[in-house]
Amino acid sequence: MVVIRIQTPEGQIRANMESTATVKDLFREISNMLSLSLKDIANALYFDVKYTNLVYSHDIHSADLLSKHSSLQHGALLYLKMERDLGSDSDSDSDSVSPEALFRNIMSLKDLPRPPTKGKHCTHDSTMRCTRCYMEWEDAFLKYIGKTREDLQMNEHIRASETDAMDAAAAAFDPWSTSPDSKSGTHSPRKGLQSYQSVNNIQHLKDNITKFQLNIERQKKALVACLSVSETQMMEVRKLVEESMYNRNFYGVMYGRYEYLSEANRLEANVFIEWIYIPPQECIAGTVVVLSDPCSKAKNKAAEKIANAFGLINMGHTFTHFNDRGFILSGAEIGSLAVRTAKLEARGAEHAKFMTNLRGCIDKTRKELVLDAFAASRQLVNLARNNILVENKVEDPGNFVRFSEKQIFELKASELVDAVCFLVPVAVTTHKDIITTMKTKICSSDFPSLGSPCPPTLHDVASYISIHKPQKLSEVYANCNYLVYLTDIISVEEVIMLIDLIKRGAPNESFEEIDNIIKGTVNATLV
């Protein structure tokens, strides 16, 4: 078996040939794969990337065996020169403008052109190439893959599906109907991108392409217009940090929802974080260790079901940042530090004290951006090195993006990367009135989290019941931390029934049966 690689404007393809195959057999195989005539292949296939040395020439004839020519041996790389899209202008080809198609089958770093010199304003040494270097080189790369800037713009193929917005999984933002189902998975609304932004800002890195940089300074607008975290949730995390005397880091799963900026504008959305679930964990300063025993895993699954029942989806993970005190930053601090980090990125990782990170993927069928994680960390480098960044949630699981020691945006050439990663500053705010702002009307700040320094017990349940005795039962049970702990007393299915009653605003009588079971268990245990 002889494998010949052919670099085309659409990416790299491979022709698997028999050892007795001829040059004409190779042309015929390429013709079948690309639906082109033999004449087109013969006139456009070259040995070099500059298209100066034609394969079909006076030295090589169609009847020659591949084994006869050293330049057509196993692993050889040929270059197919075509004007655009391999002669196919079909508008129905939905993959022709997708990031997956643009970077598909580009197999290794050596196949990519390299900027000849460092950028004019770069401070690193001449052996490195950063985002500024690649900005100057971008046009050469577009020419290399046979694309124009118009081809790389994401707006058109995102807008193409806008007519079907009412049928999309996240089109209607009723807070109780946005939870993902098991078949379709997690979906986010389409995000608005400015017309001049290109796929470099939403980059699908494949195989060994580890030096093609993500450029945050050219990201003029965050993909999410505003990330809002309820004040009660931020207070809870601050309380956890204070209880541990600033000697521990904490990790939490953020559950929330998307909301369109307006009905007329379905390409942009705000993100509302309504519940930060702190899973069972044993963390010390600078280290996050999430427990993986069967009991902890069961609690985490129960938390996911409870959030989905409230119409919330997993918006990603948040961390107390790794500094000497470990406190959570305010929204204003997050915004200013993210901008400052963007300015300091060329000086190296040691100067990058903060970065807002969004991680996600592209849903191929819906042409939507699916954001999987938001991470606010003082040292994002530490998060990446310790595999704390979140994996993709679609059919193609991704590896973690890692950074080199010398520069925060330069990935190690020796590592394989298959991920979609967003590095953008995000505006973060807090909502003071959770009842009026957060449509789900849930709260979790007055019952301990499972990952707190002192995990909840039945004594906490008894105290919680006593404190909230005058309130309606629909308000008492609208506490996600409380509901997660109740899965030790009642089944998850019964907890989901409670959530259905909460959403309907049912009277106290509807809660009495399950309420009596819980109170009876507490009284019998604490007697």
In this model, does residue 309 exceed pLDDT 70? Answer: yes
Domains located in the chain, CATH noted: 2-87 (3.10.20.90), 456-526 (no CATH)
- Residue 503: which of 266, 114, 159, 176 has the closest Cα? 176
In this model, does residue 166 exceed pLDDT 70? Answer: no
The pLDDT tens digits of the residues spanning 399-420 come to 233 333 332 333 333 332 322 3
In this model, does residue 174 exceed pLDDT 60? Answer: no
In this model, does residue 379 exceed pLDDT 60? Answer: no
| Token pair recorded at residue 290 | 């999430």
In this model, does residue 301 exceed pLDDT 50? Answer: yes
In this model, does residue 188 exceed pLDDT 50? Answer: no
In this model, does residue 93 exceed pLDDT 80? Answer: no
| 50 contacts 26 by C-beta, under 8 angstroms | no
The pLDDT tens digits of the residues spanning 52-80 come to 888 887 677 778 888 788 778 887 888 88
| 219 contacts 201 by C-beta, under 8 angstroms | yes
| 109 contacts 209 by C-beta, under 8 angstroms | yes
- Beta pairing class for 77-80 and 2-8: parallel
In this model, does residue 449 exceed pLDDT 90? Answer: no
**What's the confidence (pLDDT) of residue 249?**
66
**What's the confidence (pLDDT) of residue 496?**
92
- Residue 361: which of 381, 319, 391 has the closest Cα? 391
Residue ranges in 255-403 assigned as alpha helix (H): 294-309, 331-344, 380-385
pTM (two decimals): 0.46
In this model, does residue 180 exceed pLDDT 70? Answer: no
The amino acid at 59: D
**pLDDT interval class at 253 (50, 70, 90):** confident
**What's the confidence (pLDDT) of residue 448?**
82
**What's the confidence (pLDDT) of residue 61?**
78
**What's the confidence (pLDDT) of residue 272?**
73
Average pLDDT of every residue of the chain: 59
